[in-house]
Amino acid sequence: MVETPLLDQAAEQIYKEMEKLGEDPLKLPPVAQPIALLYTFQAMVDNGGFRYPLEGDFPFNPPYSVFVEAYRRIGANGAADSFAKAISRFPFDDPHLRQEERNEFLDSLPEDDELFQLGDAVCGDDSIWELMEKYVEENRVELKV
């Protein structure tokens, strides 16, 4: 993983603020939301592609589109496109609300399925951490870092 001291500092501060708001990242100011969402999400992706974060529910079950938008906000358009394409593979609406069905669907896919290939392409992509660091630097005043 890339060294991201400013990002780490911002994330710590953002998570403290999120605690005050009942842990809901979507209650944070819009400028802080991409970091609140992606700092944990990308760490999970780095440990197992998209499957790892898709297996469980996120607090407050935000729609997966918020992660796509967070990637876009930091400039990680390739990751955004890959995740959007991966979640479009679910054969039912609102997959973020249907953990059991998500897991059944994921388990039904062969290991070389496109959904997993898309996640593997984003797994370990240090440029995403670099883009988050750059985003924090560019929004330092608003983020109060």
Question: 70: exposed, middle or buried (C-beta count within 10 Å: 0-12, 13-18, 19+)?
Answer: buried
Residue 1: pLDDT band by 50, 70, 90 thresholds? low
Contacts of 84 (CB under 8 A, 6+ apart): 65, 68
Reported as a single tens digit per residue, the pLDDT across 88-105 is 999 999 999 999 999 999
125, pLDDT greater than 80: yes
Task: Please work out, in degrees rounded to the nearest 5, the angle formed at the alpha carbon of residue 116 by the alpha carbons of 113 and 118.
Answer: 105
Q: How confident is the model at residue 139 (pLDDT cuts 50, 70, 90)?
A: very high
Q: What is the dihedral of CA 94, 116, 50, 83, to 10 degrees?
A: -60
Residue with token string 């062969």? 110
Q: What percent of the chain has pLDDT over 70?
A: 99
Q: What is the pLDDT of residue 59?
A: 85
Specify the residue for token string 């967070």: 70
The domain ranges of the chain are 5-11+30-143
pLDDT-based confidence at 2, cuts 50/70/90? confident
Tokens of 51: 């499957």
Whether the model clears a pTM of 0.85, i.e. scores above it, the answer is: yes
Reduced to 3 states (helix: H, G, I; strand: E, B; else coil), residue 92 is coil
